[in-house]
């Protein structure tokens, strides 16, 4: 079991053949670790994860702040999709070659906390904290809260200066989280819809339905303050070790039709190597305590949410331009042909996975190991 985003000691990271043997049926393994940082995390197996997570093995892991944000309700929304047949059974078509080299296995039914959502009741005037977790194996969400002004207060568990999402849309690739404050500014009896506009086929995720009750308060709440930051070690960019990670492969890469299907036939690569769980030779070795910058270049025609274990990193630049928020993330979504530069202090010793969190891409070779020694 892997504790996604939590800075655990390496032996507790739950990566089969790298940090432990997989837990066989009937076996027990005890995970024991301190949680260094407050925030919204999740957990899932790391063994055959495309199918295991695809079939539902995943859950939310919330570490509360010592001084929580003042809200009326703190809600967790585990977002994901499923590929269901007409009788609602899970379609058994995991690992389809064609899908692996494209967007991954995207389902046909989207759920919140395991339910097909219809309406969620809210009160006019209340302030909600929504902890959004994308636990889907491949689907990217782009949520628009129509008629509302969502404020992002944390990303991947780490606080950010409260701000509106760009384009008014909260975009979450697989494994990414956002804590969103929603002031329910509508009137009693009204509804507000949450729409997912990431792909061309827009759909309504859920309707927020205001109760008939009177307003909880006449005036809107004060602007929220920033959540107290976790104590992440600050990378020293000027003296950082510099590395590059080039994401390659997949269909329509532009260098010949079936580019990704050639070579060893796995489809995806990092720095020209298709990673497997049989060869965990580190791609990069970092010296413990050093700051480093990894420039991740997506040379494919597809989005990739790239995740590093054991550390949070700052996203310091995108396409060569400094980012405004230099946000701390553990998973960074990189659009086709774009780059993201991440910076962190390699302070957690061990061998750590660095992979795409579209689980079909991970299985298809977009995975590597970074050693902190």
Tell me, residue by residue from 3 to 42, as one string, x for binding to Cu ion by CB under 5 A and - for no binding: -x--------------------------------------
- Report the residue from 47, 105, 127, 307 that binds ligand C2O according to the rule CB under 6 A: 307
Give me 206's structure tokens. Answer: 């859920």
Q: Which does 105 bind (CB under 5 to 8 A by kind): ligand C2O, Cu ion, none?
A: none
Label residue 175 left, alpha or beta by phi (over 0 means left) and psi (-120 to 50 means alpha).
left
| Among the residue ranges 124-132, 138-146, 242-250, 351-359, the one whose residues contact ligand C2O (CB under 6 A) | 351-359
For the bound state, the minimum distance from the C-beta of residue 367 to ligand C2O, rounded and expressed in Å, comes to: 8
| Among the residue ranges 100-108, 156-164, 196-204, 352-360, the one whose residues contact ligand C2O (CB under 6 A) | 352-360
For the bound state, the minimum distance from the C-beta of residue 297 to Cu ion, rounded and expressed in Å, comes to: 13
Q: Which does 304 bind (CB under 5 to 8 A by kind): ligand C2O, Cu ion, none?
A: Cu ion
- Report the residue from 78, 148, 251, 353 that binds ligand C2O according to the rule CB under 6 A: 353
Residue found under tokens 């009326």 = 72
Instruction: List the interface residues with ligand C2O, window 159-188 (CB under 6 A).
Output: 175
Binding of Cu ion at residue 316 (CB under 5 A)? no
Q: Which one, 46 or 311, has the nearer CB to ligand C2O?
A: 46
Tell me, residue by residue from 317 to 356, as one string, x for binding to Cu ion by CB under 5 A and - for no binding: ---------------------------------------x
Q: Which one, 172 or 358, has the nearer CB to Cu ion?
A: 358
Contact status, residue 304 vs residue 331, Cβ threshold 8 Å:
no
Report the distance separating Cα 237 and Cα 51, nearest Å: 39
Instruction: List the interface residues with Cu ion, window 296-315 (CB under 5 A).
Output: 304, 309
Report the distance separating Cα 52 and Cα 48, nearest Å: 6
CA torsion 60-61-67-73 (nearest 10°) is 20
Point out the residue whose Cβ comes nearest to ligand C2O: 4
Write the burial class of residue 56 (CB in 10 Å: 0-12 exposed, 13-18 middle, 19+ buried). middle
Q: Which one, 4 or 105, has the nearer CB to ligand C2O?
A: 4
**Binding positions for ligand C2O, rule: CB under 6 A:** 2, 4, 44, 46, 175, 307, 309, 353, 355, 357
């Amino acid at each position: 079991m892997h504790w996604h985003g939590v800075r655990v000691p390496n032996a507790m990271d739950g990566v089969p053949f790298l940090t432990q043997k997989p837990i066989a049926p009937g076996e027990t393994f005890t995970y024991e670790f301190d949680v260094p940082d407050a925030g919204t995390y999740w957990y899932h197996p790391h063994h055959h994860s495309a199918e295991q997570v695809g079939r539902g093995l995943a859950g939310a892991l919330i570490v509360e702040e010592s001084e929580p944000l003042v809200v009326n309700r703190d809600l967790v929304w585990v977002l994901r999709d499923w590929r269901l047949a007409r009788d609602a059974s899970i379609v058994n078509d995991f690992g389809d070659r064609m899908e692996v080299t494209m967007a991954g296995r995207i389902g046909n039914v989207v759920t919140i906390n395991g339910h097909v959502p219809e309406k969620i009741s809210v009160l006019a005037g209340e302030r909600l904290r929504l902890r959004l977790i994308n636990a889907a194996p491949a689907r990217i969400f782009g949520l628009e809260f129509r008629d509302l002004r969502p404020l992002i207060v944390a990303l991947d568990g780490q606080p950010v200066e409260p701000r509106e999402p760009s384009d008014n849309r909260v975009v979450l690739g697989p494994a990414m989280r956002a804590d969103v404050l929603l002031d329910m500014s509508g009137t009693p009896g009204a509804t507000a819809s949450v729409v997912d506009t990431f792909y061309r086929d827009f759909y309504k995720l859920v309707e927020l339905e205001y109760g008939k009750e009177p307003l909880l308060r006449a005036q809107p709440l004060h602007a929220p303050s920033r959540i107290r930051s976790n104590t992440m070690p600050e990378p020293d960019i000027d003296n950082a070790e510099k590395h590059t990670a080039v994401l390659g492969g997949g269909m329509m890469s532009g260098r010949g039709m079936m580019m990704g299907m050639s070579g060893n036939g796995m489809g995806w690569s990092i720095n020209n190597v298709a990673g497997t769980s049989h060869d965990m030779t580190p791609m990069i070795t970092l010296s413990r305590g050093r700051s480093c910058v990894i420039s991740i270049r997506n040379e494919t025609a597809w989005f990739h949410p790239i995740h590093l274990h054991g550390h949070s990193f700052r996203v310091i630049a995108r396409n060569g331009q400094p980012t405004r928020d230099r946000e701390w993330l553990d998973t960074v979504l990189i659009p086709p042909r774009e780059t993201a530069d991440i910076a962190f202090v390699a302070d957690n010793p061990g061998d750590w996975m660095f992979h795409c969190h579209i689980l079909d891409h991970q299985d298809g070779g977009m995975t590597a190991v970074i050693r902190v020694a």
